[in-house]
Amino acid sequence: MNRRVLLFLAMATILVSGCMQPEVEDDLSRARKAYIKKEYSEAERVYQRYLRDNEFAAERWDVWNRLVDITISIRGNKKRAVELLDAMLLEFSVEPERYRQILISKGRIFTEGSMWADAISVWSQLLSAPGVTIDEEATAYANLGKAYLMRGEYGLAVDAFKDCRQLAYNNMEHKQRCIYDLAQAYAYLGAYSDAEKNLHSLLEYKAVDVALASRAKLLLADIYEQQERPLMAITMLKEIKDTYPNPKVIEFRLKNLQK
């Protein structure tokens, strides 16, 4: 192919791109304006057309996420949102960071919807996803533990929360919550000694959220009652009289124990 033909093709490509670009910008602008005006059906229609007509556009990631946002936040249609996220998983399968973000979004939908089997499947996928970060592992293990706990699979919940606790990450609030959840799973198993040990470990942290510390001490009181150690239970309950969100519950428990 001679130089003149190559130049012609190059110019033609530039001209076609130049002609198409305003249309793309108009579509995105139109969709965004519709969204701002709360014209969500119009916004969806134009965003969907954009995805159909612009297969390789850089804005596709943002457009997909806006569609998911409309579907969940505005429509409340979780089933449709999962379908959109599944399509995104296919499109962004070669982009590890985005792929993991999609899995997290999908996992949260299942967790918030109490769809525990599906949640377990997705959070397990995240753990084996390429390039998974330690914070993402912590998120996955915590959510796996919750799903197993809600399904009554307490042994598996213990395993997940132990993995969460043992990770070397810097989010102390998240780690403390994993320790509390681990103690709760042990308590459900009747392993009170292990539960007590983890709760004391939690309370030894210098900075523990007041609400979480109150819940930990209430769980300790429950354990002490089960172990027929009423004085220890009373001590724990007295410590949270002024911090537990429902003080009447604490007053009732104390009254029964002090009879």
Tell me the per-residue pLDDT of 56-89, one tens digit each, with 9 for 90 and over: 999 999 999 999 999 999 999 999 999 999 999 9
**pLDDT value at position 19?**
41
What residues does each domain of the chain span?
A: 60-132
Q: Give the residues of the chain that fall short of pLDDT 50.
A: 3-22
Which residue, 161, 230, 159, is CA-closest to 201?
A: 161
- Tell me the H-state helices in 70-150: 78-91, 96-112, 116-127, 134-150
**pLDDT value at position 1?**
52
What residues contact residue 120 under an 8 Å CB cut-off, 6+ apart?
Answer: 144, 147, 148
**pLDDT value at position 23?**
52
Whole-prediction pTM value? 0.85
Contact in structure between 67 and 86 (CB atoms under 8 Å): no
Q: What is the CA radius of gyration of the chain?
A: 26
**pLDDT value at position 169?**
86
Measured at the CA of 250, the angle between CA 249 and CA 255, to 5 degrees, comes to: 100
Give the whole-angstrom CA distance, residue 95 versus residue 111: 24
Contact in structure between 230 and 253 (CB atoms under 8 Å): no
